[in-house]
Structure 1
C-alpha cells in the first residue's frame, strides 16, 4: 500500500483516480481548491487537503509524507492556453517546477504526470502514434505539457526523482464539467440537454482517440509500486472515431436529432490523433474498454440530471 497524493483530486480525472486508488487499497491524500460544496469523488477515508496549486507553501505541505504524487491538475484548457500562451507558462509550467522541487525536498519516491496524447504529437499524418514518434506540438497547451515532460527528465537526472509520463488521449465521462469548454462529448451533450445547437469545428472528419474515464484510471492504478520498463506510456482506447461518428453515437443515445453549428477548424487542431497503446498492453495486459455508445449513455445520464452545471 502506498501513500498517494493526487494533485487535482476534485477534477474530472483526479476524482475518478482517487476512487480507483482507494479501491486498490492505497492511502490517498486529495489536494485541490475544493471550490464546490463537497468533493466529487465518492470514496470514504480520503484525507482532504484544501489548498492552492499556485501556493508553494500549500504544495510543500501537501507532498509531505507521501510516497507517490499524481500530478493531474491543469490551470488551463487548450482554449485558454491558446488565448494567452503566457498563462500556461506562468502557471502550469512554473508551478509544476515548484511542485517537483517540493517533492525532492519531501523525499517523494515517484511522480506520475498526466500529459496529453491528443495534441503532443502534432500534425504528422500518421494512422496512429507510438511513444517512439517525435513530439511536435503546435498548440500552447501541448507545448506546455511537453515542457513539463522535459523538466521531469531534468529532475530525474539532477535529483533522482523518479517519474512516469502518461500521455492520455481524449478522456470523457461522468464528472466532466462541460462549462470548462473542454471535451467534445460532454459539451455536446450539455448543449443537447439545453436544447441548443451543437458546435462542430470543420466538417466532422477530425478523428480522435476517446477513452472512458473509468477505463483510464484503471489503466493508471497498476503503475503504483511497479518497476516499469519505460518512463513514458500512451494511454487511450487505441480506437479512432471521427466527430461525425461521435455525433451519430450522441443521436443513438439521446434518441433525437439536434442542430449543428458548424465553425471553421482552428489552425492548431490536428486532423487525426489515435494512440498506439501496444507498449502499455504488452506490459500490463489488455484492459476492458467501455464502448462509445455506453460511455456516452453514462455521461448523458449525469448531464441530463444537471444540465446547468
Structure 2
C-alpha cells in the first residue's frame, strides 16, 4: 500500500511511519520540522521504502507531493497542538489546523485518494461532558480555539466525503504518551514529569492536581491508525481512541515517582486558561468498527517511556511544569 503521513517527524507520526514500514508499506513522510524532529526518522531514512519531504501542509507544494505519490491512504497528524498558543494566536492555530486540512483534502480529491485518517482531538472536542467515559454521539463542545479548529477540520472532511466521495476516519485521540514524546518545552505531561525526575529537576503541577485525563500508549494509537487505514472504504466517521480510564495529574505523578524511583515533591501553581477538568473516552465504537482495544496498561506504558527517556540526554534547565493539555502530545 502507498501511504503518506503528515507530521511524520513528530511523536505519533514517526512511530506510525516505523509501523507502516515494518508492515511492508511504501511511506512518504511530510513535515515542516517546526516541532517535529528529523532524528525521529533516523531508522525510517535507512529504508528504501521511505521518502521524506520537508514542506508545510498549508503550502501549495503539498498538492504536487500528493499528486506524485497518489497514496492509497493518507494519515493526517500534522497539527498545531498547543492549547495555550491557540488562545494567544488563534489565527496561526486556524491556519495550520483548518486551512492545512482543507489543503490536504483538496490534494487528496485531485489525486483520487479516498482514505484519510485524521488525528482528531478526543481530549478537547467534547468540552466538559457530564457523563464519563464519553461516547461519540455526545455533541462537540469546543472550549478553546485549538478544540474548535480540530472540530472544524473534522467537519470539512465530512463535507469532502459528501461532495467528492472521500472516506475520512477521524480518530479522536485521548492523551497519548510514550517514546519520542518531546520532554522539552510545551509537551506531554508524562515526558515532562519523567525527564525532570531523571534529571533531578523539580516538577510543577498547574492546578490542584485533581484534573483527570485518559492516557493511552502510543503503540496502541499506532495500531488504531493502521487498522483505520486498511478499513473498507465505506467506513467513515469519528471514533474515540482512549482507555476509558480517568487518571488525575496527582495520580500520574505518583505513578511516575514509583517507576522512576523518585521522591514526591511537586510544586503547585495556578490553573491555566483553556484546560478542561475531566475527560475519558468510551472506545466501544472503535472496538466494533476497527476491532481496536488498548492493550498496554499504564504502568507498563510508563515503564517503557521511562526506559526510553533514560537513553536520551536531558539538560537540567529550570523546573518542569505541567498543565495537562487535551492530547498531551506533539504530533
TM range (shorter): over 0.9
Q: Which residue in the other structure is 1:63 paired with? A: 66
Whether 1:53 and 2:56 are equivalent positions in the alignment is yes
Whether 1:283 and 2:292 are equivalent positions in the alignment is no
How is 1:219-258 mapped onto 2 (pairs within 5 angstroms)? Answer: 219-227=224-232, 229-258=235-264
Once the two structures are TM-superposed, the CA of residue 159 in structure 1 deviates from its matched residue by 2.0
The structure 1 residue matched to 2:143, chosen from 109, 126, 138, is 138
Gaps of 5+ in 1: none
How is 1:1-309 mapped onto 2 (pairs within 5 angstroms)? Answer: 2-33=1-32, 36=37, 38-40=39-41, 42-43=43-44, 44-54=47-57, 56-64=59-67, 65-227=70-232, 229-285=235-291, 287=293, 289-308=295-314
Once the two structures are TM-superposed, the CA of residue 50 in structure 1 deviates from its matched residue by 2.1
**Structure possessing the higher relative contact order (Cα contacts under 8 Å, 6 or more residues apart):** 2
Matched position secondary structure for 1:273: coil
Once the two structures are TM-superposed, the CA of residue 55 in structure 1 deviates from its matched residue by 5.4
Range with bigger deviation, 68-77 or 207-216: 68-77
The alpha-carbon distance between structure 1 residues 286 and 221, as it changes in their structure 2 partners (threshold 3 A), is closer
Once the two structures are TM-superposed, the CA of residue 76 in structure 1 deviates from its matched residue by 4.0
The alpha-carbon distance between structure 1 residues 53 and 167, as it changes in their structure 2 partners (threshold 3 A), is same
Q: TM-score, normalised by structure 2?
A: 0.87
Gaps of 5+ in 2: 316-331
Alpha-carbon separation, structure 1, partners of 2:5 and 2:61: 14
Alpha-carbon separation, structure 2, partners of 1:242 and 1:41: 35
Matched position secondary structure for 2:126: coil
- The answer to whether the Cα contact below 8 Å between 1:170 and 1:208 also exists between their aligned partners in 2 is yes
Q: TM-score, normalised by structure 1?
A: 0.93
Once the two structures are TM-superposed, the CA of residue 150 in structure 1 deviates from its matched residue by 0.8
